[in-house]
Structure 1
Amino acid sequence: MNATVTCYLLALASNQQPHQYFQFARSALAQLGRVHWSKVYLIPCRDSIGADYWNAACLLESQLSAKQMQQWSKELEQQAGRIRPSHCITLDVDVIAWGNNLQQLNFNSRKMPLPLDVRIPLQDVGVKLQPQKIQHPYPCWNIDMLD
């Protein structure tokens, strides 16, 4: 019998050694299932305290339950040395939504409304949150360039 596969939308951010921690996250996520990545965006810190963030999103297809995915994301942050509260973030991994497919997503109400640094990368993985593409001045690059 085949296990149920769930689609997850994840938002990732780092402003401390982001190259290292994004590589760490990419490797860990690849162990869970098929991953489709957004570009990586360099976006200023929301409250102007701390270094600019690398922000990205991914669509992950995994057999983990929503509860398991929430727990896994927090464990990954801890493995990366995440300290709360702090403006120096090694790795932030948020479960934004989950469902059977992109058309049937359950958004995490605790993450709503989604900030711009989450909405911009999400549109790269096929999520339409508004009728038109968000225009922005932020530099970006493909995650494959981290290799």
Structure 2
Amino acid sequence: MIVWQRDAVSAFIALGANLGDAAAMVRRAIDGLAQLPQTQLLAWSPLYASAPVDAQGPDYVNAVAQVRTGLTAPELLQHLGQAELQAGRTRPYHHAPRTLDLDLLLYGDGRIDSPALTLPHPRMAQRAFVLLPLADIAPQRVSPEALRAVAGQAIRRLPG
């Protein structure tokens, strides 16, 4: 039994990687979400491959996971950043290829607009690599109009 100090909230996290064994890294990161304090992994999407957006480099492997957490949104974001660093993420330049990218998409129905965190994620509605995996695990969170808006973006579901 998990006992949390605060009311638990459902949160959605986008995962991506395009360096090394990107699929294995995303799978390990999904498993790692279950290890976060006060957090339970509820669901995760299949893996998808997509070309980098506004960048160069190999295709990304992407997924979305749902957790239930007693962490605040800033605390959860801090843990995600630590996981990226542990996976060897560096930021040599904007949109650089990465070993792991974890983005907090949604935190309950919360809205945050601060220098450190904006929720819902400000670009999620523009990205097929976020909306398709999110629709797999939470179809009520993605409208048909949103899916149509990204229908022209190249993305494919990976086997397995």
Normalization by structure 2: what TM-score?
Answer: 0.74
Give the superposition deviation at 1:133: 7.3
Match of 1:121 in 2: 133
Q: Partner of 2:42: helix, strand, or coil?
A: strand
- Looking at structure 1, the residues matched to 90 and 14 of structure 2 have their Cα atoms a distance apart, in angstroms, of 18
Distance in 2 (alpha carbons) for counterparts of 1:2 and 1:68: 14
**Rounded Cα–Cα distance in structure 2 between residues aligned with 1:141 and 1:132:** 24
Go from structure 1 to structure 2 and tell me whether the alpha carbon gap of 1:54 and 1:120 turns closer, same or farther (over 3 Å shift): same
- SS across alignment from 1:33: strand
Which whole-Å deviations, capped at 9, do the CAs of 1:42-101 have from their partners, x for residues lacking one? Answer: 0111125100000111111112111110100000000000010353210000001101xx
Counterpart Cα distance in 1 of 2:73 and 2:13: 12
When residues 2 and 44 of structure 1 are mapped into structure 2, their CA distance, relative to the original with a 3 A threshold, is closer
Change (3 A) 1:83 1:137: closer
Share of identical aligned residues, percent? 25
Q: Out of 26, 29, 33, which is 2:33 matched to? A: 29
Offset of residue 132 of structure 1: 4.9
Residue of structure 1 equivalent to 2:115: none
Task: Kindly indicate whether residue 79 of structure 2 is the aligned counterpart of residue 76 of structure 1.
Answer: no
Consecutive unaligned residues of structure 1, counting only runs of 5 or more, are: none
Secondary structure, counterpart of 2:52 in structure 1: coil
One-letter amino acid of the counterpart of residue 66, structure 1: A
Higher relative contact order (CA 8 A, sep 6+): 1
| Coordinate RMSD, CA, aligned | 2.4
Which amino acid is 1:116 matched to? A
The DSSP-based 3-state class of the residue aligned with 2:58 is coil
Residue aligning to 1:7? 10
- Cα distance in 1 between the residues matched to 2:79 and 2:32: 10
Q: Which amino acid aligns with 2:129?
A: D
TM-score of the pair, normalised by structure 1? 0.80
Unaligned runs of 5+ in 2: 113-117
Counterpart of 1:140? 157
Residue 26 to residue 113, structure 1, CA distance change in 2 (3 Å): closer
CA-CA distance at 1:109 after TM superposition: 4.2
